[in-house]
Amino acid sequence: MAGQLSELDFPGVTPSRQRRSRETMAALLCTGAEMLRTRTLDDLSIEDLCAEVDATVGSFYGRFASKDAYFNVLLGLAARDGQTMLAAMAQNDRLVRTDLETLCGTLVGQIIGWMRRHEGVLRAALQRSGSGPARWSDFKQLAAATTNAATPLLLAAMGPSRSAARIRSIGFGFQTVFGTLVNAILNDPGPLSIHHPEMAVRLSRCLLLQLQAEIGTRSVRQAKRPRVARQRR
């Protein structure tokens, strides 16, 4: 992460130009993101955070104007990692030639991997989303961008049709995927946590079955369509 910090431009953040300063900032960000896996943002003590990385509280506030400014950097880094995921998806030519089942597994696996990497930050953003729309809006936009990027790939794997019904089915499929994962992060209702190996398998299967059902529905409609007998001349 230290290499990325020279490119950070967030309100309330003092740029780090020296290597040691960047390393300290990277340690504060990485450790804080890890600590948020087991505590809320309100319970994240700046004193405890600094003690974990052997830094002073003064050095923290020398880099971040406030705790909110610090958290905004964590949000920005998580969103940036999501954008990297989307860019990799767009550049992966193999996805265009992938069958529907494999494609669903790949896409869901990438989404779960991203959400697992930033679990604590995402949970904190969800818990504090009521305090300001910007807390969660970046991730909603990222979810929409992921759906938009995946739609042409899935349409190609579903067959020649580009019907509006198929596009809606893809959108609802991703709503199911993201909704399940957000609930797992925020509430962890069980039986599967976001870290359970079966989560990726079952969610990709869920997406696949929804899309296969749409393909089957169209086939059934075409099969039931009455044929008009040709009149003999």
Q: How far apart are CA 6 and CA 1, in angstroms?
A: 10
Domains present along the chain, CATH in parentheses? 2-63 (no CATH), 78-224 (1.10.357)
pLDDT per residue as tens digits for the range 181-228: 999 999 999 999 999 999 999 999 999 999 999 998 654 344 344 444
Residue 89, pLDDT > 50, answer yes
CA distances from 142 to 20, 78, 133, 232 (A): 33, 10, 15, 58
Q: Give the pLDDT confidence score for residue 197 in this predicted structure.
A: 93
First vs last C-alpha separation in the chain: 78
Give tens-digit pLDDT for 121-167: 999 999 886 555 556 777 889 999 999 999 999 999 999 877 899 99
Contacts of residue 100, Cβ cutoff 8 Å, sequence gap at least 6: 154, 157, 158, 208, 211, 212
Crossing angle of helices 67-91 and 134-158, in 10° steps, is 10
pLDDT value of residue 227:
47
Residue 169 has pLDDT above 80, yes or no: yes
pLDDT for the residue numbered 10: 66
Q: Which pLDDT does position 130 carry in this prediction? A: 57
% pLDDT > 70, the chain: 83
List, for residues 188-200, the tens digit of each pLDDT value: 999 999 999 999 9
Give the pLDDT confidence score for residue 20 in this predicted structure: 82
pLDDT in tens, 102-122: 999 999 999 999 999 999 999
**Using only C-alpha atoms, what is the Rg of the chain?**
23
| pLDDT surpassing 80 at residue 7 | no
Q: In this predicted model, which residue has the larger pLDDT, 230 or 190?
A: 190
Q: What is the pLDDT of residue 21?
A: 81
Q: Provide the CA 199 distance to its chain's centre, in angstroms.
A: 15
Dist. CA 220–CA 197, nearest whole Å: 35
Share of the chain above pLDDT 90, in %: 67
pLDDT value, residue 138 = 79
pLDDT at 6: 46
